Amino acid sequence: MSIQEFKDCDDMKIRVWVDNGHYFPEVMAARPDHLKELQSWETRHDDVLVCTYPKSGTLWLWDIVSLLISNQSEVLDRVFDTSNLELNGTEKLDELQSPRVLQSHMTPHFLPKSIIQKKNKIIYGIRNPRDVAVSMYHFMLKLHDSWSSYKGSWDNFLKLFQTGTLGYGSWYEHVKGWEELQLNKEHPVLFVSYEDLHRDCFKEVKKISEFLDLSRTDDTIHGIVKNTQFDNFKAEKLKSVGHKLTAISKDGKDPYFRKGIVGDWKNTLSDEQSEEFEQTIVQKQGKSNLIRRYTKGHQLV
């Protein structure tokens, strides 16, 4: 386990913490033994896990699941920072009251073994990797140096994204890992796309509710949908927990909420980059049906 430094084409540095060949954000180096401890940590039977690759609508999805479980529709006055598996010690996680909605950006390989053994239900949020890359670039530039050391250009960042030289590694391998967990181990994993949440939020929230075996009224679901739409959601979160959201930024401004839309990548990627991105997706999709949905001609592009 060590911090490794990489350079982009202009010699701008990016640092990641490496554990057995897997990349994590450099901030995780502060707790070098935590991932090992996490492997043997015992989850509870009613725990639910929300997992995403970063910048895939994590805060939105975590709130939706939390509201469904608590059977309320008002935006929560908390965020997932206290329930993140990789950034909190197991003693802190144990303090959370049940039912817990845990959160992680890790691949299944690093999950506590008890999650697999107990078949805790998992909701995996996925987003168009083009939008993920754009959102992550802007996010990283806003972060305090202790969270992100990268200060390079968009063109060079895109190369780092495509090679997986970032905390949490390759988007492609991340998605494949979660898809394989569902297919090969028959684990209860529900895949929810950022694009589908935008297209028909009521339908997706209801699907999540049914997956969790919850009996929630249509009125409750409509309330959740209304209150978690971007503008209202942003305003409520910044009012109630803005100090937490801004704590990791370098200028004290919110780094999380930017546009909250589908397809913003079209305003950033050049024609050449768009074509190269398409080729990369085709090359790396393998047998993944989830990744294939983000190739040209499919509904989520």
pLDDT of residue 131: 94
Say if CB 144 and CB 249 are below 8 A apart. yes
Q: Where are the domains of the chain?
A: 2-292
Per-residue pLDDT of the chain (301 residues; tens, 9 = 90+): 788 878 777 787 788 888 888 898 887 766 778 888 999 999 999 999 999 999 999 989 999 999 999 998 887 666 667 788 998 889 999 999 999 999 999 999 999 999 999 999 999 999 999 999 999 998 887 766 656 667 788 999 999 999 999 889 999 999 999 999 988 777 999 999 999 999 999 999 999 999 999 999 999 999 999 999 877 777 766 666 655 556 556 555 655 667 778 899 999 999 999 999 999 999 998 889 999 999 886 755 5
The answer to whether 103 and 80 have CB atoms below 8 angstroms apart is yes
User: Distance between CA 61 and CA 64 in Å, rounded?
Assistant: 5
Q: Are 201 and 225 in contact (CB under 8 A)?
A: yes
CATH number attached to the domain at 2-292:
3.40.50.300
pLDDT for 244 equals 57
Q: Determine whether 117 is exposed, middle or buried from the number of CB atoms within 10 Å of its CB (0-12, 13-18, 19+).
A: exposed
Contacts by 218-225 with C-beta closer than 8 Å and gap 24+?
220/71, 220/72, 220/73, 222/73, 223/73, 223/74, 224/64, 224/67, 224/68, 224/73, 225/201
Q: What pLDDT shows up at residue 193?
A: 96
H helix runs in 43-192, sequence order: 58-70, 90-95, 113-117, 129-142, 154-163, 171-185
pLDDT score recorded for residue 149: 66
pLDDT of residue 51: 97
CB of 84 within 8 A of CB of 34?
A: no
Nearest by Cα to 50 from 123, 106, 150: 123
Distance CA 32, CA 24 (A): 11
- In the structure encoding, which two tokens stand for residue 38, read together? 């996490």
Rounded CA separation 104/89 (Å): 13
What single-letter DSSP state applies at residue 166? S
Q: Count H helices, E strands: the chain?
A: 13, 7
Of 22, 34, 105, 298, the active-site residue reads: 105
Q: Does the annotation mark 174 as catalytic?
A: no
Q: What are phi and psi of 89, to 5 degrees?
A: -65, 155
Q: How far is Cα 2 from Cα 16, in angstroms, rounded to an integer? A: 8
What does the pLDDT read at residue 184?
A: 74
Q: Which of 49, 45, 71, 103 has the alpha carbon at shortest distance from 224?
A: 71
Using only C-alpha atoms, the chain has a radius of gyration, in whole angstroms, of 18
Q: Which residues pair with 14 in a beta bridge?
A: 6
